[in-house]
């Protein structure tokens, strides 16, 4: 997705990073700085995993952060689908 990983800890199941989130606006495609944190945890011995995504998009606030989380979720589902 073109974002940068700034910190990762495999033992804790965390990934943090930043980049530019592009979104359509009334004046066209615009980019704003974003940050994100993932927490990944195995729930049981089955292949069940919980992923918590926290995201922030500078200036645009919660609606844009929610779109960023949805985009992360969509991309994650594509990756996970290759393991089924």
Reading the chain (84 residues) residue by residue, the pLDDT tens digits are: 889 999 999 999 999 999 999 888 788 888 999 999 999 998 888 878 899 999 999 877 788 888 899 999 999 888 878 876
Report d(CA 59, CA 25) in Å as an integer: 13
Number of structural domains the chain divides into: 1
Which residue is it, tokens 């033992």? 11
Contact between residue 65 and residue 72 where contact means Cβ atoms under 8 Å apart: no
Report d(CA 30, CA 37) in Å as an integer: 22
Range of the domain at 41: 4-81
Residue 73 region by backbone torsions, left for phi larger than 0, else alpha for psi between -120 and 50, else beta:
alpha
Q: Which pLDDT score is estimated for 84? A: 60
Q: Which pLDDT score is estimated for 24? A: 81
Alpha carbon separation from 70 to 25, 44, 66, 73 (Å, rounded): 17, 25, 6, 5
Query: Bridge partners of 4?
Result: 18
| Full-model pTM | 0.81
């Amino acid at each position: 997705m073109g974002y940068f990983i700034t910190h990762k800890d495999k033992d804790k199941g965390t990934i943090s990073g930043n980049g530019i989130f592009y979104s359509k606006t009334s004046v066209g495609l615009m980019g704003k700085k974003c940050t994100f944190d993932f927490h990944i945890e195995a729930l049981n011995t089955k292949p069940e995993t919980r992923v918590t995504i926290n995201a922030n998009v500078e200036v645009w606030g919660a609606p844009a952060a929610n779109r960023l989380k949805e985009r992360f979720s969509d991309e994650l589902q594509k990756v996970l689908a290759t393991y089924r």
